[in-house]
């Protein structure tokens, strides 16, 4: 028996529907069809009236969830692809995110974003949106990298009193497997040292954690021990765990699949530079995708995003300084 | 609040009088007009930090919606809905608090003026992005239906300009798909800020859109409060009976600028002097007069003036938000608040 990342997301939603009558799922094709990625397979049959097909109206999908959350429900909205959530941005950033601050009343909802690149997906089915959402106050932004986290963090997200943007990586959906669903969980706001090491810290999240781990393995063959920190949640950011790692290694590379202007890796480098300057033996570096739309053909796509090979190159440069 | 001395018999009589929707509308309209006149003068005196947006000329249509709703219903007002808010039961003092930024107000100085709301009273706090409240109101109604509540209605307002937004379209469409008891009242005052209808849409009548959404449509002369009551009241009733979303389009004019910073000189003089430019408050006074309630009208007006003066006096003494005492956290998470603060 094994459980994929996608199975974990489906299982978490099933458990949430089972445990809390306030939970419902809303999204395009999520009902009888079971969702574009089958993340809600069979849930409509098991929970009649609580797994609801929406029109192709991302603004209204999120707006409806905001209203339902204000009324005490816990909606889980599935965007078919993270990229399309731009159409619902206004409701998420200006409505969901401001409600608690403005009214003192919670707005518990989850926006599930099938995120990140896969071969052949191109400019409009590959995006990583975490930085945009993280920029706005009032939102929690999660980026699970493991099967266990996909399950436990989604459950935690649904139980939270705040709007949560749940960035699940499509590349991990099918191939990432675990033996079973976790019985206990690390709290969602705690970063996790995915691989300990003494020479250099590589901070990553979502699918990039696996690229970073592969790069660390490669460098281990060259005698360097890379510590890989999996952020798990990018907002709020667990700065303490990052700084503690840099205190051990003295060197930092922050990796993100999203674009290079600003974003999570920039935030990590900024915090380490300003709060942990004395800990550093080398300038902190970042590695991101190229600053172009995400390409269609795998030849271009694999050169566009950070890979284990490119991460290893960047780590060597940090180590050589 | 105004202190009134009245013996039991008079109290009883006025309570009965308040059962009549036209009288309830009259009082809401009067209170709104008196309050907004006061807010405009406070604005000119520099006592209000942000903008002031009035519903002058739109009180009848707005009040009809507020009065047609009852406890357990939901109101998502827009910027010209003081009368609807008061008619639905928003405390007048909360409006003053929101405008003056009182810490005791519903938004505690974190948001102001027309953005106030009180979820515990079923009043959604609007965001400025037009059309956004349509789907949010639909969401509240969907939630109520999932919770097995019965007989509820949600009402939200829009202007002619808001009907051009994608959000308005998506929201009304989704409400129609879900057959929700939603009433959308469009106050077509001919101008979105300064932009006239012919630069806003090309259809002859916004009411025609009802058919396209598969919802029931109702047109009304927004300057005639009695007609507004009949039409909006019927739309609310239809929604309550399960007939799905209702689109009401009231034609009227706003008898002021977009906000108090705006003189509204772009509004066509011919329109202003036409029947569409009638002041619904005067129309309502004449209706009440014809019913022999002229003295009641005068009394309601006086009571409204006292209530407004008292409210402004009271709020002026209330504490303002203090940046040093403010809880600068935008998320509700308990137990994780420290992490969030760092976040």
- Chain B (144-183) residues lying within 8 Å, Cβ to Cβ, of chain A: 144, 146-147, 166-167, 170-171, 173-174, 177
Q: What is the 3-state secondary structure (H, E, C) of chain B?
A: CCCCCCCHHHHHHHHHHHHCHHHHHHHHHHHHHHHHHHHHHHHHCCCCCCCCCCCCCCHHHHHHHHHHCCCCCEEECCCCCHHHHHHHCCCHHHHHHHHHCCCCCCCECCECHHHCCEHHHCECCCCCCCCHHHHHHHHHHHHHHHCCCCCCCEEEEEECCHHHCHHHHHHHHHHHHCCCCEEEEEEECCEECCEEHHHCCCCCCHHHHHHHHCCEEEEEECCCHHHHHHHHHHHHHHHHCCCCCEEEEEECCCCCCCCCCCCCCCCCHHHHHCHHHCCHHHHHHHHHHHCCCHHHHHHHHHHHHHHHHHHHHHHHCCCCCCCCCCCCCCCCCCCCHHHHHHC
Q: Would the pLDDT of B14 be above 70?
A: no
Q: Would the pLDDT of B252 be above 60?
A: yes
Per-residue pLDDT tens digits for B218-235 = 999 999 999 999 999 999
Q: What is the mean pLDDT of residues A284-300?
A: 98
Write the Ramachandran bin of A263: left for phi over 0, alpha for psi from -120 to 50, otherwise beta: left
Per-residue pLDDT tens digits for A51-86 = 999 999 999 999 999 999 999 999 999 999 999 999
Catalytic residue among A14, A78, A95, A125: A125
Out of A54, A87, A103, closest to residue B174 by CB = A54
Return mean pLDDT, chain B.
Answer: 92
pLDDT for B334 equals 53
Q: How far is residue B147's CA from residue B245's CA, in Å, rounded to a whole number? A: 19
Q: Would the pLDDT of A222 be above 70?
A: yes
Judge: A75–B139 Cβ closer than 8 Å, yes or no. yes
Q: Would the pLDDT of A96 be above 50?
A: yes
- Chain A (215-254) residues lying within 8 Å, Cβ to Cβ, of chain B: 235-239
The Cα of A215 is separated from the nearest Cα of chain B by a number of Å equal to: 29
Per-residue pLDDT tens digits for A229-275 = 999 999 999 999 999 999 999 999 999 999 999 999 999 999 999 99
Instruction: Write out the two tokens for B65.
Output: 């919606």
Per-residue pLDDT tens digits for B153-194 = 999 999 999 999 999 999 999 999 999 999 999 999 999 999
Judge: A138–B132 Cβ closer than 8 Å, yes or no. no
CB A95 within 8 A of CB A62: yes
Q: What is the mean pLDDT of residues B46-65?
A: 96
Q: Would the pLDDT of B36 be above 60?
A: yes
Return mean pLDDT, chain A.
Answer: 97
ipTM: 0.96
Instruction: Write out the two tokens for B188.
Output: 């077509």
Contacts of A31 (CB under 8 A, 6+ apart): A40, A44, A51, A52, A53
Please indicate whether residue A125 is annotated as part of the active site: yes
Judge: A238–B339 Cβ closer than 8 Å, yes or no. yes
pLDDT confidence band for B1 (50 / 70 / 90): very low
Catalytic residue among A14, A58, A148, A257: A58
pLDDT for B161 equals 97
Percent of chain B with pLDDT over 90: 91
Q: Would the pLDDT of B17 be above 60?
A: no
Q: Would the pLDDT of B16 be above 70?
A: no
Per-residue pLDDT tens digits for A147-198 = 999 999 999 999 999 999 999 999 999 999 999 999 988 899 999 999 999 9
Judge: A95–B144 Cβ closer than 8 Å, yes or no. no
Please indicate whether residue A211 is annotated as part of the active site: no
Q: Would the pLDDT of A292 be above 80?
A: yes
Q: What is the mean pLDDT of residues B68-93?
A: 97
pLDDT for B19 equals 73
Per-residue pLDDT tens digits for A97-131 = 999 999 999 999 999 999 999 999 999 999 999 99
């Amino acid at each position: 028996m094994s459980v994929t990342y996608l199975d974990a997301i489906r299982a978490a939603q099933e458990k949430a529907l089972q445990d809390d009558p306030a939970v419902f799922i809303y999204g395009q094709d999520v009902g009888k069809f079971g969702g574009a990625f089958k993340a809600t397979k069979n849930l409509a049959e098991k929970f009649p009236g609580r797994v609801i097909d929406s029109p192709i109206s991302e603004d209204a999908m999120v707006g409806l969830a905001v209203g339902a959350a204000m009324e005490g429900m816990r909606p889980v909205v599935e965007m078919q692809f993270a990229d399309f959530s731009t159409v619902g941005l206004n409701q998420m950033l200006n409505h969901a995110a401001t409600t608690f601050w403005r009214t003192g009343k919670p707005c518990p909802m989850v926006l599930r974003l099938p995120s990140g690149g896969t071969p052949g997906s191109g400019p409009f089915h590959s995006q990583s949106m975490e930085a945009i959402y993280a920029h706005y106050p009032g939102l929690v932004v999660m980026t699970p990298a493991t099967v266990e986290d996909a399950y436990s963090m989604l459950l935690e997200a649904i139980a939270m009193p705040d709007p949560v943007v749940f960035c699940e990586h499509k590349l991990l959906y099918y191939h990432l497997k675990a033996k079973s669903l976790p019985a206990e969980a690390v709290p969602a706001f705690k970063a996790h040292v995915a691989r300990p090491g003494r020479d250099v810290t590589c901070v990553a999240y979502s699918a990039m954690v696996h690229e970073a781990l592969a790069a660390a393995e490669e460098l281990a063959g060259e005698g360097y021990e890379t510590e890989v920190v999996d952020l798990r949640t990018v907002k709020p950011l667990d700065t303490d765990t990052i700084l503690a790692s840099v205190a051990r290694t003295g060197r930092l590379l922050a990796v993100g699949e999203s674009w290079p202007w600003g974003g999570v890796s920039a935030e990590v480098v900024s915090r380490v530079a300003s709060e942990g300057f004395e800990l550093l033996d080398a300038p902190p570096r970042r590695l991101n995708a190229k600053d172009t739309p995400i390409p269609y053909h795998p030849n271009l796509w694999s050169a566009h995003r950070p890979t284990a090979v490119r991460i290893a190159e960047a780590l060597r440069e940090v180590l050589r300084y | 609040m105004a202190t009134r001395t009245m013996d039991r018999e008079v109290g009883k009589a006025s309570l009965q009088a308040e059962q009549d929707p036209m009288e309830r509308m009259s009082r809401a309209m009067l209170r709104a007009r008196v309050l907004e006149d006061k807010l405009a003068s406070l604005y000119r005196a520099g006592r209000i930090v942000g903008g002031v947006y009035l519903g002058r000329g739109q009180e009848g249509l707005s009040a009809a919606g507020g009065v047609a709703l009852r406890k357990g219903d939901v109101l998502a007002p827009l910027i010209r809905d003081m009368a609807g808010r008061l008619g639905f039961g928003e405390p007048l003092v909360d409006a003053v608090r929101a405008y003056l930024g009182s810490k005791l107000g519903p938004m505690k100085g974190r948001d102001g003026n027309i953005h106030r709301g009180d979820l515990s009273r079923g009043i959604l706090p609007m965001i400025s992005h037009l059309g956004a409240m349509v789907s949010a109101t639909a969401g509240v109604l969907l939630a109520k239906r999932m919770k097995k509540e019965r007989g509820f209605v949600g009402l939200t307002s829009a202007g002619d300009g808001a009907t051009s937004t994608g959000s308005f379209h998506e929201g009304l469409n989704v409400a129609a798909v879900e057959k929700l008891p939603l009433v959308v009242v469009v106050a077509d005052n001919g101008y979105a800020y300064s932009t006239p209808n012919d630069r806003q849409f090309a259809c002859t009548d916004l009411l025609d859109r009802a058919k396209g959404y598969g919802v029931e449509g109702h047109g009304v002369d927004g300057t005639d409060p009695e007609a507004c009551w009949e039409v909006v009241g019927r739309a609310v009733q239809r929604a309550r009976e399960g007939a799905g979303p209702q689109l009401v389009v009231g034609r009227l004019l706003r008898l002021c600028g977009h906000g108090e910073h705006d003189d509204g000189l772009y509004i066509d003089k011919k329109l202003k002097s036409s029947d569409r430019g009638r002041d619904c408050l005067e129309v309502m006074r004449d209706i009440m007069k014809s019913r022999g309630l002229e003295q009641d009208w005068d009394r309601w007006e006086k009571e409204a003036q006292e209530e407004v003066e008292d409210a402004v006096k009271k709020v002026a003494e209330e504490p303002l938000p203090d940046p040093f005492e403010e809880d600068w956290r935008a998320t509700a998470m308990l137990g994780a608040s420290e992490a969030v603060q760092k976040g």
